[in-house]
Amino acid sequence: MGRNVNVNVEYLTRVEGHGNIVVNVRDGVLEKCELDVIESPRFFEGMLRGRSIFEAQHITSRICGICSCGHTLASIQAAEDAIGFKPSKQTTELRKFLLHMETLDSHILHIYLLVAPDLLGVKSFVPLISSHNEVVRRALRMKKWCNDVCDILVGRHVHPISSIVGGFTKLPDVKALDAMLDILTKMRPDMDETVKLAASLKFPQFERETEYIALVNDTDEYPFLEGDIGSTDGKRWKKKDYRQVTNEFMVEHSSAKFCKANRESYMVGALARFNLNAAKLHPKAKAVADAIGMKPIVKNPYLNTAAQLIESVHCLEDAIRILEDFQKKGIDPKEAVVVGLNENNAVKVHAGNGVGAVEVPRGILFHDYEVDAKGVIVNANCIIPTGQNLNNIEYDMKKLVPEILDKTDEEITLALEMLVRAYDPCISCSAHFLNVKFVNR
Amino acid sequence: MSNLLTGDVLAVLNSGSGAPLFLTVGNLFRSDDGVGPYLASRLVVLPVRIVNAGHTPENIIDEVVGHKPSRIIILDAADFGGRPGEVRVIPEEAIPETTLTTHRVPMNVISRLIKDDTGAKVVFLGIQPKTVSLGEGLTPEVQAAADEIIETIKSSLRGLPR
């Protein structure tokens, strides 16, 4: 008779989403393998209805405390797309810079706080204070520096104020540019140490064929802010056709919708971006990829963390490049915009539909707005990366569990938790807070 | 005498062993989770040292350490299953190692690092929220508790235990 396993991991999270891992193996046969998402709907799309596109980004930024810049920028992009506004090159570069800071901040937190404890063999981040004190301090130092740069550029550590439809209400002066560059230059030695640490970590061996989806473009830029939607299966869509990619559907065990494109599931996030765009990474990031043996297409989802490391190097170096460019050519202060709710028609508005597609730390984020002639949102749709990954995580679990049935209950549970954490889902605040019940053993 | 605060909480607030630094934590847009920042906004006019960490407490470690405090009182909303507005001294070991809110670095990590750098005694005062859903303003129960805390600190500054 084969083995019976019943794993019930409650819960995967507390605030941004509640989730359970449920696995049931009877006589060696996998009967059930689900990632149950039981979070309540948050109704942000409903909140947007009737609100001006000039305040939408302040509302959507509150969807997530770690991706607040990404939601802000997706919101602005959807609004500008709807009214046919083209941002200036200066604005676009500053937005890319802002996104780099958020991605760097988020990846550093994920690598250090959520993944490293597993791979360093401790139960959580807290014991690292004793065993790896400098690692803890480095993680918090790097995070703070990213937040400090955001504070200088957009007026807050998180939830930006000055980034709006039309551009920025306040632009960095020479002193601010110097201050941001000073911070990021100081971060380089810490990034070197981060690479050393992460390169020494041993990730679990596991592979599954799947589809990877991320922004793609025809330039030599590693895309975060602009581009079409691309797939490792060779498909390419305009961002307005994002619904052909996401194909949201309901499952009984989840209050979050699941997604699929060309296959039964797809993955978004750092690994998807790496698999589609690795050739466009900054040379220093490419060197890290080479050093740790990452070459597209990487099919091990645990290596999403390694892709985050590579992207961290890219974001830091590209952010420094953007600042150095601005130091050389200067920032045009006349581009600062004072819009408010556009009471004085500073930005020309017309009715329309618009889509924002932005690569945030966990993957491609869509905001879709229908706007009336006054710039008021009539309908809104937001599809977050974690929602797109849930289905893929479940298919990974279904392949992984039968492969590790010779392991102990604790090892199976840990492997599943680590798998979910590797995706860095917004429901992963919980990382080390899982109650596990085994029965039939 | 305070109507709402228990003896151990009053003892913390009235303790005369060095002027404490008050460290407040919370999100103003999460209803009662904003009790920390609310307390900060009221305490700032008093002759006390105060650092409001808001919802990024991990970013204020250097600032707190720079004050060289010998005693730190952390004021934060904490769900310990009490009645709304109840205030308790929370033992450090009872603080979960997980994030209390999304992506927040656990408070005990922050507390530990500050203690390592300063040698300060750190006490957590948790205020039981009624709700932490999206929204501004405190519920009456938590508002009352916050006002009691402020009055107690004011009395303590005048050398008059409540």
Tell me the domain boundaries of chain A: 52-202+320-348
Q: Which of A430, A426, A417, A418 is nearest to A389 (CA)?
A: A426
From the list A64, A133, A433, the residue facing B102 with the nearest CB is A64
Sign for the CA dihedral angle at A390, A396, A397, A399 comes to positive
Return d(Cα B5, Cα A24) in angstroms, integer.
Answer: 49
> Does residue B102 fall inside a structural domain?
yes
> Does residue B1 fall inside a structural domain?
no
B18 exposed, middle or buried (CB, 10 Å; 0-12, 13-18, 19+)? exposed
Domain count, chain B: 1
Using beta carbons and an 8 Å cutoff, which residues of B are at the interface with A? 29, 55-56, 58-59, 61-62, 96-106, 108-109, 112-113, 116, 134
Q: Which of B39, B65, B46 is nearest to B127 (CA)?
A: B39
> Does residue B38 fall inside a structural domain?
yes
3-state SS class at B30: strand
> Does residue B35 fall inside a structural domain?
yes
C-alpha Rg value of chain B to the nearest Å: 14
| pLDDT of the residue at B96 | 64
More confident residue, B79 or A240: A240
From the list B62, B102, B112, the residue facing A429 with the nearest CB is B102
Strands (DSSP E) found in chain B: 21-25, 49-54, 71-77, 87-90, 121-127
Domain limits for position B54:
7-157
Return d(Cα A70, Cα A99) in angstroms, integer.
Answer: 6
> Does residue B2 fall inside a structural domain?
no
SS (H, E, C) chain A: CCCCEEEEEECCCCCCCCEEEEEEEECCEEEEEEEEECCCCCCHHHHHCCCECCCHHHHHHHHCCCCHHHHHHHHHHHHHHHHCCCCCHHHHHHHHHHHHHHHHHHHHHHHHHHHHHHHCCCCCCCCHHHHCHHHHHHHHHHHHHHHHHHHHHHCCCCCCCCEECCEECCCCCHHHHHHHHHHHHHHHHHHHHHHHHHHHCCCCCCCCCCEEEEEECCCCCCCCCCCEEEECCCCEECHHHHHHHHCCECCCCCCCCECCCCCCCEECCHHHHHHHHHHHCCHHHHHHHHHCCCCCCCCCHHHHHHHHHHHHHHHHHHHHHHHHHHHHHCCCHHHCCCCCCCCCCCCCCCCEEEEEEEEECCEEEEEEEEECCCCEEEEEEEECHHHHHHHHHHHHHHHHHHHCCCCCHHHHHHHHHHHHHHCCCHHHCCCCCCEEEECCC
> What count of CB pairs under 8 Å joins A to B?
72
Mean pLDDT of chain B: 85
pLDDT band at B162; cut points 50, 70, 90: low
Q: What is the CATH number of the domain that holds B79?
A: 3.40.50.1450
| pLDDT of the residue at B30 | 87
| pLDDT of the residue at A39 | 61
Return d(Cα A327, Cα B10) in angstroms, integer.
Answer: 55
Return d(Cα B122, Cα B22) in angstroms, integer.
Answer: 10
Q: Which residues of A touch B61 (CB under 8 A)?
A: 140
- For strands A211-216 and A228-231, give the pairing: antiparallel
A332 exposed, middle or buried (CB, 10 Å; 0-12, 13-18, 19+)? exposed
From the list A147, A157, A433, the residue facing B98 with the nearest CB is A433
Tally of CB atoms within 10 A around A337: 19
Q: Which residues of A touch B29 (CB under 8 A)?
A: 62
Cα distance from A62 to chain B (closest Cα, Å)?
Answer: 9
pTM for the predicted model, two decimal places? 0.87
Q: Are A396 and A301 in contact (CB under 8 A)?
A: yes
Average pLDDT of the segment spanning B22-49? 92
Predicted-complex ipTM score: 0.76
B103, A14: Cβ pair inside 8 Å?
no
Using beta carbons and an 8 Å cutoff, which residues of A are at the interface with B? 14-16, 42, 62, 64-66, 109, 113, 123-126, 129, 133, 136-137, 140, 143-144, 147-148, 157-158, 426, 429-433
A52-202+320-348 is a CATH 3.40.50.20 domain: no
| pLDDT of the residue at A436 | 30
> Does residue B89 fall inside a structural domain?
yes
Q: Which residues of B touch A66 (CB under 8 A)?
A: 102-103
Q: Which residues of B touch A432 (CB under 8 A)?
A: 97-98
Kindly report, residue by residue over B87-143, the tens digit of the pLDDT.
998 887 777 655 433 346 778 888 889 999 999 999 999 999 999 888 899 999 999
Name the stretches of chain A with pLDDT < 50: 11-16, 427-441
B113, A109: Cβ pair inside 8 Å?
no
